[in-house]
Amino acid sequence: MHLILLGPPGAGKGTQGALLTERYGIVRISTGDLLREAVREGTPLGRDAKRFMDAGELVPDDVILGLVRDVMSRVDSGVVFDGFPRTIAQAVGLERLLADLGRPLHAVILIEVDDEELVRRLAGRRVCAECGVTYNVHFQPPRAPGACDECGGTLVVRPDDSEDTVRRRLSVYREQTAPLIGHYRAGPVPVHVVDGDRPMDAVAADLAELLDALRA
Ligand code: AP5
């Protein structure tokens, strides 16, 4: 099964995508995670991408499509795309890629959350510098403040989670990514809207119901 998780920064795409991987064994491809890995490794791509990411802007489409094409060549199971596509050009690129690979797209899942809640969530997000597990000081705190439950690593604030950058990311979402909703609604793939402004378990239960229906 191939799914797209669409939604603004902080909507819970990463959180829910990880749960879908756990529950259904589908691979999560997060372009944000791929880019952060390249930044950590200091590759030329990572060095170029960092200035866009730190400013809350989108990394150029050709870079993103190259990354996804490369990962997809190594994945032969179902995939949930998290944070990709983010522009119409990326959506068209994904359509071509899936057609080349003979794999259909089954659904687009749009997670909707109010802007002020998004700003609050992202201000509270903490990420383990060692293993990448995500926490939230308001909604999902670690057992010991500042330390990862899984590996004991230090929890850090993502560089693009400052309030100004979050607001820029939200504008970029409205201008460049939200048009994808109309793009997909005009096409053959169903678009399911999930109210993400609820506790994580409630959102996860809706997604599980949806996936069970899609798999039936
Ligand atoms: P990316 O990493 O994709 O960031 P994003 O889309 O802005 O999404 P986030 O990771 O901020 O949020 P999320 O929806 O995954 O929420 P999460 O589950 O973490 O991209 C970063 C940057 O990389 C971009 O700005 C861009 O520069 C570049 N980039 C990436 N992909 C690109 C592409 N395709 N094209 C071009 N550029 C690209 O949750 C957030 C917080 O809320 C967490 O603390 C979590 O614990 C908490 N939370 C989650 N759900 C709930 C809930 N239901 N209730 C309360 N708290 C919750």
Best residue among 119, 136, 164, 171 to mutate for probing ligand 1, ranked by most atoms within 8 Å of CB: 136
CATH code of the domain in which 6 resides: 3.40.50.300
Q: Angle formed by the axes of helices 31-41 and 61-72, to 10°?
A: 100
97 touches 110 (CB < 8 A): no
Question: Is residue 188 a part of any domain in this protein?
Answer: yes
Q: What is the largest CA-CA distance in the chain?
A: 48
Question: Is residue 40 a part of any domain in this protein?
Answer: no
Paired tokens of 124: 């509270």
| Residue 155: other Cβ atoms inside 10 A | 22
Q: Which of 42, 43, 95 is nearest to 65 (CA)?
A: 95
State mean pLDDT over 193-210. Answer: 97
Whether pLDDT at 111 is above 90: yes
Residues marked as catalytic = 13, 86, 125, 158, 169
CA atoms within 13 A on the CB side of 11: 22
Paired tokens of 147: 């330390």
- Ligand 1 near 177 CB (within 6 A): no
Q: Which residues contact 59 (CB under 8 A, 6 or more apart)?
A: 31, 35, 48, 49, 52, 53
- Ligand 1 near 52 CB (within 6 A): yes
Q: In total, how many domains does the chain have?
A: 1
161 touches 122 (CB < 8 A): yes
List C-alpha distances in Å: 103 to 24, 97, 100, 179: 18, 9, 8, 24
Question: Is residue 17 a part of any domain in this protein?
Answer: yes
Question: Is residue 33 a part of any domain in this protein?
Answer: no
What's the N-to-C CA distance of the chain in angstroms? Answer: 12
Best residue among 47, 125, 172, 201 to mutate for probing ligand 1, ranked by most atoms within 8 Å of CB: 125
For the CA of 136, the nearest atom of ligand 1: 44
Whether pLDDT at 216 is above 90: no
Q: Which of 30, 180, 28, 27 is nearest to 90 (CA)?
A: 180
Question: Is residue 66 a part of any domain in this protein?
Answer: no
Interval between CA 160 and ligand 1 midpoint (Å): 10
- Ligand 1 near 176 CB (within 6 A): no
The single-letter code of the amino acid at 157 is V
Question: Is residue 97 a part of any domain in this protein?
Answer: yes
CA-based angle 110:161:35, to the nearest 5? 70
Question: Is residue 105 a part of any domain in this protein?
Answer: yes
pLDDT digits 0-9 by tens, 169-198: 999 999 999 999 999 999 999 999 999 999
- Ligand 1 near 78 CB (within 6 A): no
Ligand 1, atom 50, lies closest to the CA of: 12
Mean pLDDT of the residues in the chain: 96
Question: Is residue 64 a part of any domain in this protein?
Answer: no
pLDDT digits 0-9 by tens, 15-46: 999 999 999 999 999 999 999 999 999 999 99
Q: Determine the structural domain holding residue 199 and report its residue range.
A: 2-26+77-114+172-215
